[in-house]
Amino acid sequence: MRLLLATLFFCSVPAFAQYDTIPAIDSGRCTYAQFRQDSLALVAVKLVRPQFRFDNRTIYFKGQVLSVGGHDIGVLLKDKLRVTLGYYRMIDHLSSYRKDIEGQQYDRQLRLAYGTLNTELIYVNRRFFSLGMPLEFGFGRNISRYKIVPDATDYVQKSGFLVVTDFGLSGSFKPIRWVGIRFVVGYRKNIVNQVEDFRFDGIFTSVGLNIDFREVTKDFRMYRLMKRCGRIDSKIGTAVDLFVD
């Protein structure tokens, strides 16, 4: 009898140990196979991902730095090609065009507003950084005004249609998967500019903030999946790992 009990005891130990080491515990809410299938579906590369970007550009003109601010919205196709529509605007004074006519000082103000079609080929895409080649076409209106300095009275105004193209190299740093800082160095070329005495040809730089909405929703959906399947040890720790790793 004692021999039989001892045999049953030692045979039961491996059975419980094997159950504890199974990664697919079934908590009544989710099996390991279901968790694996759902999580792989979440991280799979999607054909279309929504994109949004705040962009601040710097144009260099005759030693003066001009700031062009704007944003764009669109999609990222298969994590390789970004296609967006944008809007940019600039209002600035051109120090190189200040004049003194018959003892009266005049200042030149430039107003620029244009929409863009943006494309960017992402040829390197890693966890913390990516590299791309942006190409952009802009269509808008250019307004140039000479003003009397003391009271800002309009003296001469010119306006016209504008078509420009930008191309260059970009690099993005992504401390969090769904938020990144993007840097661009490129060249801007006028195609059409009806205000002939001001041309935008030249080097430009750009700093922007990227937001990837799909990564945001993916992290929150992954957190909910892990919670439903009972795979969360610490809510705060798991959330930090999801957003930062």
pLDDT in tens, 178-202: 889 999 999 999 899 888 767 778 8
pLDDT exceeds cutoff 50 at 21 = no
pLDDT exceeds cutoff 90 at 44 = no
Q: Which domains does the chain have, with CATH numbers?
A: 48-212 (2.40.160.20)
Q: What is the pTM for the complete model shown?
A: 0.69
Among 118-122, 142-146, 158-162, the minimum mean pLDDT is found in 142-146
pLDDT (tens digit per residue) in 229-242: 776 665 555 555 55
Identify the burial level of 125 via C-beta atoms within 10 angstroms of its C-beta, where 0-12 means exposed, 13-18 middle and 19 or more buried.
Answer: middle
